[in-house]
Amino acid sequence: MRMKILVTGGAGFIGSNFVRHIYRERPDWHITVIDALTYAGSEHNLDGLDKERLAFVKGNICDEELIDQLVGENDAVVHFAAESHNDNSLHTPWPFVETNVVGTFRILEAVRKHQKRLHHISTDEVYGDLELDDPNKFSETTSYNPSSPYSSTKAGSDMLVRAWVRSFGVQATISNCSNNYGPYQHVEKFIPRQVTEVLEGRRPKLYGSGENVRDWIHTEDHSSAVLAILEKGTIGETYMIGANGEKNNKEVVELILEIMGKDKTDYEHVNDRPGHDLRYAIDATKIRNELGWLPKYTDFKTGLTDTITWYRDNEAWWKPQKAETEAKYKELGR
C-alpha cells in the first residue's frame, strides 16, 4: 500500500537509519522528516536520498501548529524524536521533560484529531535494570522502574500513549528496544566514542569495572522490526525489540580493540556514571512469534566490524563532534 509517512526525529541516529531503511524497502512511500536538528541530529544523515520522495522540515515536535499540519498531511507517524543521553539528563533534565513528555503529548493530540496511525519508539531503560546474575529478561509485562530523568520521561511518554489508546481510541503501538549501534551514531555514545578514540590514536575509556551489561542490536535490525510493527502490529500492543546481543562493556571495548588490530587490554578505566544501570536484556519472543520478525545481525562481531568500518570511512561526518564531546567528558572525569 502506498503510504505517506511522517518520521519525527528522522535526522537523528536511529531515525535516519529507519528513514534509509523504508526508503530502500518501500520505494513507493513518501517520507516527511521533522527534526529540531539539535546537536545529535543532522540533515547530512539523510544525504543522497531523492528529494522527490523525502521532504525535510526543521521544527520542534512541541510546536502544536506545525505538528498538527504535518500529521494531517500524512497517513502514519513513527515517533523517534527524543532527548536520549543519560549523562545529559543527569546534568540538565528539562529538555528531556519537554521533548519526551510534552512533545509526545502534542503528537498524540494531533493523531487523535486527524485519526492517523502512530507507532511510538521507546527504550528498554524504562524497566530499570536487572542484576548481573538474574536469568530473567525484560518482556512486555515487566513493571516499569526507570532510574534517570531520561528513562523516566520515556516511561511517561509510553504511559501517555497507552492512555490515549484506551481513552480516545488512538491507533497506536509501542516498541521498547535494546541498545542500538551502527552508522550515524553521535560520538558521545559508548561504541562510537571508543571507536573514534582509537581512530584518533588514544586509548578507549571504560566506565568503572566494565561489568555493566547491555543488549546490543544493530540499527538495521531495529528498523526492520519497527516496519514490521507498523504494517502488521496489533493496535494497542507493545513489542520488545532485541537480538540476543548481551555483552558487558568490558567485552565490547576489548572486541573493538581486537577488530581494530590493537591489544585488547589497551584501554583505561574512568569514573563510573552516577546510577549506572547494571544490566538490560530483552525477550523478543512476542515480535518473533506474532509478526515473524528476525534480526539480520545475529553475530555481534560482524555488526560491530561493519560499524567500525563505517566510522573509519566517514571521518568527515564525526570529526566535527569529537573535540567538544571529549571536552565535556573531561569535565565529568569520564
> What amino acid positions are annotated as catalytic residues?
124-125, 150
Identify whether the C-beta of residue 118 lies closer than 8 Å to the C-beta of residue 171: yes
Give phi and psi for 20, each to the nearest 5.
Answer: -65, -35
Identify whether the C-beta of residue 33 lies closer than 8 Å to the C-beta of residue 7: yes
In order, the DSSP letters of 282-316 are B--HHHHHHH----S---HHHHHHHHHHHHHH-HH
Measured in residues, the chain has a length of 334
Distance CA 27, CA 23 (A): 6
Distance CA 332, CA 330 (A): 5
- Using DSSP, state whether 189 is helix, strand or coil: coil
